Amino acid sequence: MKISERQSVHGQWSSRWTFIMAATGAAVGLGNIWKFPYLTGQNGGSAFVLVYIVCVAALGIPLMMAEILLGRRGRSTPIRTMQVLAEETNTTQWWQIIGWSGTLAGMLILSYYSVIGGWTLAYIFKSIGGTFNGASGQFAADTFSAFTGSGTILFIWHTVFMVLTMGVVAGGVQGGLEKAVQFLMPTLFILLVLMVGYSMTTGFFGKGLAFLFTPDFSKLTGASMLSAMGQAFFSLSLGMGTIMIYGSYVPRDTSIASTSVAIALADTGVALLAGMAIFPIVFANNLEPGSGPGLIFQTLPVAFGNMTGGQAFGSLFFILLLIAAWTSSISLIEPLVTWLIETYGMTRIKASLYSGIFTWLLGLGTVWSFNRWAELTFLGLTFFDLLDFVTSNLMLPLGGILIALFVGWLMRADSTKAELNIHNPAIYAAWQALVRYIAPVAVFIVLLNAIGLL
C-alpha cells in the first residue's frame, strides 16, 4: 500500500482546528494550572518565560513534529506504527519499544491521574456547597487531609472520573473525542478569561503580573534552566503515545509544522492565563504562592472562601481544573484502546470498557496510597509516588529520546520531507538538526535531572 493511501481504521479529525484543540487538550493538564505559573514566578518572571519559549522552540516543537509525523505516516496505534515504520526503514523491530512504552505510560499515568481528577470533581461540589466560606488555612488543610484519608470517598470519585473519561473514549474519534474537545476546550478558555477578569477585581492584579512577568535575570540559575527545559518537554505530553495516536488521525493536507507551533502557543497561553488568574487571588489573601500542588486544594479554597463572590468563582475554578484533567485523561488511554481494537478485533465500546476497568483497578493502588497503604513504601516511595516517578522521570524522557533518534537518524529524509511538507530547505535542515542533535541531548539532560543525577 502506498503511504498516501494509508488511513487509520479508527477515523480522522474533521479539521486541522479540531486536531489543534484535541492536542492542546492532551497537553493542558493540572500541571499547567499550578506548576508553570509557580516556576515562572520563582525563576525570574518573564526572563524564565523567555528561556522556556526558547526551550519549546528548540526542543518541544521539533519533538512534537516528529511524534505527529510518526503517527500520520503509520496511521495506526503507536505499537503498530513503529512496527510498520521499522519495516519501512529496514531496521530492527526493537523500535516497537517506543510504542509499547508510550502506551503503557499513558495507562499508568491515567491510573493515578484519575484519582487526582476525582479530587477536582469533589471540590466542585464542596465549593458549590459553601464548604470553604470563611474558612481558615487550618480548616482547609484538615478538610483535605480528611478527604484523602478516606479510601471510600476517594474510591467513589476515582470511579466517577474514570466513567466520564471512558464514556468519551467509547464514542470514537469524531463521535467522542472530537465532540468533547470542541465543547470542553472553548469552555476552558472562557472560564480562564472569566477567572482573569475576577482577579482584576482583587486589587492585586498588578502584583500578580509583576510576579509572573517582571524580568529578573539574576534568578536564572542552572537549576532554573533545567526547570524550563523539563517543563518544555513534559508540558506538551511528549513521549507517551498520545500525540502519536492523535497524529494518526490528522488529515493529509494538514501542516504538521504550523499545527505544532499553534499547539505549543496555546499550551503556554493557558499556563500564563492560569497564573494571571491565580496569583492576584493568592496575594490578595496574603497566602504562599509557592505551595505547589497544595496551592489548588488547600491554599486557593481559603482564598476563594474569604473573598466577595469567591463561592461562585471558586466553583468555576474547580470546573476549569476538571476540564483540564478530563481533556488530558481521554488522550492518555486512547493508545491502549486502539491497540485492543486492532489486535483483538474488539468493538470500541468493548475495548474502552476493558481498558477502563483495568486502569481503574490499578488506580485503586493510588487511592489507598493516601490512606490504608500510606505506610507501604518501596525505596521510600508510596505506590502513587512510585508510579509518578517511573512514568514521568523515566518512561517519558526515554520515549522522547528514542523518538528523536528514530526520526532523526533512521527515517529517510524523503519520508520525513513528505510528511512535514516543508518546502524551505533551510527550515527543514534546522528541524532535522534540532531533532538529531539538540533534542536527544536535551531530553537526556532532563532525564538525568529528573532522577537526581544533576
- How far, in Å, CA of 123 to CA of 153, rounded? 12
Identify the band that residue 4 occupies on the pLDDT scale cut at 50, 70 and 90: low
Q: Is pLDDT of 2 > 80?
A: no
pTM: 0.95
Query: Can you tell me the mean pLDDT for 342-350?
Result: 96
Give the cell for residue 341. Answer: 481494537
How much is the mean pLDDT over the chain?
Answer: 93
Q: Is pLDDT of 322 > 70?
A: yes
pLDDT digits (tens, 9 = 90+) for 123-134: 999 999 999 999
What separation in angstroms does the CA of 160 have from each of 247, 326, 347, 356?
29, 12, 23, 12
Q: Give the Cα-Cα-Cα angle 120, 121, 123 (nearest 5 degrees).
A: 65
CB 97 within 8 A of CB 279: no
* CATH node for 3-450: 1.10.4160
- How far, in Å, CA of 439 to CA of 404, rounded? 7
Q: Is pLDDT of 291 > 80?
A: no
Q: What is the structure's pLDDT at 1?
A: 52
Identify the band that residue 85 occupies on the pLDDT scale cut at 50, 70 and 90: very high
Q: Where are the alpha helices (DSSP H) in 235-370?
A: 242-247, 256-284, 294, 300-305, 310-344, 348-369
Query: Can you tell me the mean pLDDT for 94-113?
Result: 97
Domain residue spans of the chain:
3-450
- How far, in Å, CA of 322 to CA of 30, rounded? 9
CB 192 within 8 A of CB 272: no
Q: What is the structure's pLDDT at 91?
A: 96
Q: Which residue has better confidence, 227 or 293?
A: 227
- How far, in Å, CA of 132 to CA of 121, rounded? 15
Q: What is the structure's pLDDT at 228?
A: 92
Q: How many CA atoms lie within 13 A of 231 on its CB side?
A: 28
pLDDT digits (tens, 9 = 90+) for 49-71: 999 999 999 999 999 999 999 99
pLDDT digits (tens, 9 = 90+) for 355-395: 999 999 999 999 999 999 999 999 899 999 999 999 999 99
Q: Is pLDDT of 329 > 90?
A: yes
Give the cell for residue 322. Answer: 476538571
Maximum average pLDDT range among 219-223, 294-298, 315-319? 315-319
Q: Give the Cα-Cα-Cα angle 408, 451, 298 (nearest 5 degrees).
A: 115
- How far, in Å, CA of 195 to CA of 275, rounded? 10
pLDDT cut 90: percent of the chain above it: 84
